[in-house]
Structure 1
Amino acid sequence: MTYSFSNSASTGHEQLDLLASLLDGKTQGHIEALDLPEAAQCWIPGAGSGTIARWLAERDPQGLVLATDIDPKIDEPLPKNLIIEVHDLTTDPYRTGWDLIAIRLVLCHLPQRQQILQQMAAALKPGGWLLIEDWGWSAPPSAYAAPTPADAALFDTMSDANLTQLQDRGADPAWAESLQQHMDQHLTDVQGWRYDERWEGGSPGCRLHAINLAQHRERLLADGITADELDRAAALLTDPALRTYAYALHACAGRRPPL
């Protein structure tokens, strides 16, 4: 699987925690809006630290939750109805018969995203739901306030450079923006949400920016970004005087037609 970030990096655990703090509330709200049956069979691919999988397992103790990832980092103890497995969406077979498949910030990174969407839709039970959440960045995040104009320009440069690293490894910045049209091809009752937010230095969003830059540091240096620029960007991302637009979060849920 092609993926730009590593759960096993020194910053991997913090990166997953920040994503959970930024997004879990929205994901939980989307799932609660779906008419899932009792004792639902749920699959969470790309589960990362497993916060959503654990929440689902505790929410429905009679159900079953399978959390998969190429490198799962889910702490024990686990609920009895939560199963953890290593799984690669691009190469491994898919189990079928799911009431819910929920995947977050994975497909935008994978060149095989269309095929994976189709395979996940086919893995649902009749009437089962697929929830996909992804960030879009066809307009990269930019600073609208900063300590100095040079700092604003530096943030914008780092944002563009970081996203270039993702695109070079197969990510699609516009995928999320057309997510609903893609899901309409395979599912029914498709519904969508979009969130546009702003982050300030020191917030979970800006701390996530800093971790992403740190994980890409060697590749950014090879592409001509200087160590001084990266170090200044890391400091800037802790400064509350920095205010930035966030990635736009796009979410869609659709169901396999009932029999």
Structure 2
Amino acid sequence: MTGSRYAFDNDHDESANRHRHLAAMYDDFTLRRITELGLAAGQRCLELGAGGGSVAARLAGLGAKVLATDLNVRHLPPDGRYDILQHDLRRDPVPAGPWDLIHARLLLLHLGSRAEILTRLAAALAPGGVLLIEDFETTFRKGVLRAPTPADAAIYDAYHEALAERVMPSFGNDPTWAGRVHAAMLDAGLTDVTTEVHARSWPGGSAGALLQASNIVQQRAALRDAGLADADLDRILELLNDPGMVVRGHLLYSTAGRA
């Protein structure tokens, strides 16, 4: 992707924690969406940006034939019940289908050519196949549900604003993309397009709070460059481990369309 790069490299020491937190936060929701969309045993499933492989493993456990792909496959266990392909969706063709299900979670928002990629994915579906794209919409604020002090709430809001409005866009991330996927699927000729928006509360020490801590660990230098002091970042890390701090997860737009 021209002018963009992935902000959360799988080679970083924190990446395994990130995959674990995301699985705890969203796998149950994602699998409910997939099963409601009609996944059946024996269907061919393409899991893009598979990360740690948690979704691919659960799809395989339901009897699907799964190909899990990622730019960096180091966290995908080689003894899983699915096939693995190192793959760059920006430059490589969509793996040969046709596919009954193509799923990508928290992937396309990072890719500069995301709209063109969605069109290619739609074209790779089997008749009746489903494309499910799940991405964060990060423009909505009010992320603090409870904080020990008003100053703590303000410092967390400042972190979220810096991450969403300055750090992530510098890597090519589009914070408005999730809200535009529904229209993009219709424009690509898909039918029965539906969007479900998911978010919940996360107290300090829970998976959702610790994902924010992982953000800080991986992007501390960029957050400093965006105006946050080290003392502020240290305080936010303390808060994210404090059960008295409660944050709201990003809005996850889960959009599905059928060929």
After TM superposition, the score normalised by the length of structure 1 is 0.93
Corresponding residue number in structure 2 for 1:84: 84
Would you say the 8 A contact 1:101–1:124 is kept in 2? yes
Partner of 1:202: 205
Look up the match of 1:140.
Answer: 141
User: Aligned partners of 2:142 and 2:105: how far apart in 1?
Assistant: 19
Map 1:93-112; keep pairs closer than 5 Å: 93-94=93-94, 95-112=96-113
One-letter code aligned to 1:167: P
Query: 240, 246, 249: which is aligned to 1:246?
Result: 249
Q: Quick one: distance in 1 between partners of 2:15 and 2:191? A: 36
Partner of 1:168: 170
Residue aligned with 1:209, SS:
helix
User: For 1:132-169, what per-residue CA distance to the aligned partner results, in whole angstroms no more than 9, with x for missing partners?
Assistant: 11111111352232111111111011111122211111
Give the match's secondary structure for 2:254.
strand
| Mean CA deviation greater in 98-107 or 180-189 | 180-189
1:199-257 Cα deviation digits (max 9, x unpaired): 2211111100010011001122233322111111111111111122221111111111x
Aligned letter for 1:101?
I
Letter in 2 for 1:86: Q
Q: Name the stretch that deviates more: 135-144 or 187-196.
A: 135-144
Which aligned pairs between 1:46-85 and structure 2 lie closer than 5 A? 46-60=49-63, 63-72=64-73, 73-79=75-81, 82-85=82-85
- Partners of 2:197 and 2:186 lie apart in 1 by 17
Overall identity of the aligned pairs, in %: 38
Aligned residues: 252
Indicate the larger mover: 138-147 or 176-185.
138-147
2:27 maps to 1:21: no
What is the distance in 2 between the residues matched to 1:122 and 1:20? 28
Please say which of residues 177-186 and 25-34 is displaced more in the overlay: 177-186
Deviating beyond 4 angstroms after TM superposition, the runs of 4 or more aligned structure 1 residues are none
Closer, same or farther in 2 for the Cα pair 1:56/1:3, shift >3 Å?
Answer: same
Q: Distance in 2 between matches of 1:24 and 1:146?
A: 27
Structure 1: gaps (5+ residues): none
SS of the residue 2:76 aligns to: coil
Is the partner of 1:74 in helix, strand or coil? Answer: coil
Are 1:189 and 2:192 counterparts? yes
Q: Name the counterpart of 2:229.
A: 226
Identify the residue that residue 121 of structure 2 maps to in structure 1: 120
Q: What SS is found at the alignment partner of 1:102?
A: strand
**Cα pair 1:42 1:100 within 8 Å, conserved:** yes
Contact 1:100/1:131 (<8 A) preserved: yes
Cα distance between partner residues in 2 of 1:152 and 1:34: 39
Per the normalisation by structure 2, the TM-score is 0.93
Contact 2:167/2:226 (CA < 8 Å) preserved in 1? Answer: no
Deviation at 1:83, TM superposition (A): 0.6
User: In the aligned structure 2, how far is the partner of 1:250 from the partner of 1:16?
Assistant: 19
Provide Cα deviations, 1:151-194, integer angstroms capped at 9, x if missing partner: 11110111111222111111111211232121111201112211
Q: Distance in 1 between matches of 2:84 and 2:180?
A: 31
For residues 47-105 of structure 1, what are the alpha-carbon distances to aligned partners after superposition, in whole Å with 9 as ceiling and x for unaligned? 00011111111211xx42100000121124222xx111110110011123111101101
Aligned Cα root-mean-square deviation (Å): 1.4
Aligned equivalents of 1:143, 1:38: Cα separation in 2: 41
Cα deviation 1:8-49 (Å, max 9, x = unaligned): 211100100000000000110011012345411110010000
Equivalent-residue separation in structure 1 for 2:39 and 2:77 (angstroms): 26
What CA deviation, in whole Å up to 9, does each residue of 1:100-127 have, x standing for no partner? 1011011112121100100000111121
